[in-house]
């Protein structure tokens, strides 16, 4: 068989090929780079308008913190109960935003403490959240596995915000320290009061009521602040806690000291240059039978 002639045409000869297109420079990054005026190593320099925006944001953040610190400092001053109640009614819409600025972590700490010690299925326990506010403690209890929650607070506005979260099966208004808790004796597996036991807020006289509504063998979780302006109140609280233990009504399970409880708010702390205050979480178990 003969060879078939090729049909491939020879490539045309280009006498003057076109030079490649010049490579375009890479677009600059959002932050402009240039060498330092002294001719040393290169450094990143922000545009004047970017630096100005950053300074403005920092200034706004400082003003916000200062504003929240002044507001929260009012809570811990001795005041007429009616005046305090009006303050909380007006504070409710901004409460959660403000405590976030203060890096307030008592709800998480209390819920974690209770969950770590509680004996029995968490999802079956009936828990009372005293001074529940807008429901921050309930949120943390839900995360830990608690599902049956009741709440009490003196502020109707706070209760409405808590109700909107849908975490509580029952919410009631109660003027803490001024009236008995609206619950039968020994009906809750656990009772918490978080962030309310301090100067200018709920009096220590509420503590025996917390114990009364707790089941035998149930738990009571309390928190308070350990800063200078609250030391007198904390000493009174310890007297009540110790007396109930001496009477054999409950036993201390744990006491957790926390160095960075929240951002400092009082004038005393500011004068000392303190950024944070400390606090403490207590957990007690109600004795089944008074110890003689």
Output the pLDDT for position 266.
Answer: 74
Among the residue ranges 17-26, 206-215, 278-287, the one predicted with the least confidence is 17-26
Q: Enumerate residues 6+ apart whose C-beta is below 8 A from 117.
A: 219, 253, 254, 283
221-265 residue pLDDT tens: 999 999 988 999 999 999 999 999 999 999 999 999 999 999 988
Chain centre to alpha carbon of residue 158: 16
**Cβ distance 191 to 210 under 8 Å?**
yes
84-133 residue pLDDT tens: 889 999 999 999 999 999 999 999 999 999 999 999 999 999 999 999 99
Q: Is residue 287 predicted with pLDDT exceeding 90?
A: yes
State how far the alpha carbon of 135 is from the alpha carbons of 117, 180, 238, 241, in Å: 22, 21, 26, 26
Residue 257, Cβ neighbours under 10 Å: how many? 10
Q: What is the pTM of this model?
A: 0.78
- Token readout for 57 is 């944001």
60-81 residue pLDDT tens: 556 588 888 888 777 766 568 8
Nearest Cα to Cα of residue 285 among 113, 107, 112 = 113
């Amino acid at each position: 068989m003969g060879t078939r002639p090729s049909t491939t045409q020879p490539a045309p000869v280009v006498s003057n090929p076109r030079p490649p297109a010049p490579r375009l420079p890479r677009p600059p990054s959002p932050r402009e780079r240039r060498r330092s005026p002294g001719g040393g190593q290169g450094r990143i320099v922000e545009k004047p308008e970017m630096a100005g925006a950053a300074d403005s944001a920092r200034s706004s953040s400082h003003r916000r913190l200062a504003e929240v610190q002044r507001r929260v400092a009012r809570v811990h001053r001795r005041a007429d109960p009616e005046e305090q109640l009006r303050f909380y009614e007006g504070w409710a819409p901004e409460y959660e935003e403000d405590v976030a600025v203060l890096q307030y972590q008592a709800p998480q700490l209390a819920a974690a403490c209770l969950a770590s010690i509680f004996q029995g299925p968490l999802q079956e326990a009936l828990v009372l959240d005293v001074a529940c506010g807008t429901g921050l403690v309930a949120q943390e209890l839900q995360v830990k596995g608690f599902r049956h929650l009741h709440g009490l607070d003196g502020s109707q506005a706070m209760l409405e915000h808590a109700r909107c979260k849908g975490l509580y099966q029952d919410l009631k208004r109660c003027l803490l320290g001024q009236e008995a808790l609206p619950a039968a004796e020994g009906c809750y597996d656990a009772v918490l009061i978080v962030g309310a036991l301090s100067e200018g807020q709920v009096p220590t006289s509420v503590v025996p009521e917390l114990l009364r509504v707790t089941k035998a063998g149930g738990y009571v979780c309390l928190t308070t602040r350990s800063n200078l302006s609250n030391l007198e109140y904390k000493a009174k609280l310890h007297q009540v806690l110790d007396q109930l233990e001496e009477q054999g009504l409950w036993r201390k399970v744990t006491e957790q000291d926390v160095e960075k409880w929240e951002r400092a708010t009082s004038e005393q702390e500011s004068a000392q240059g303190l950024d944070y205050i400390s606090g403490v979480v207590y957990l007690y178990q109600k004795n089944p039978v008074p110890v003689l």
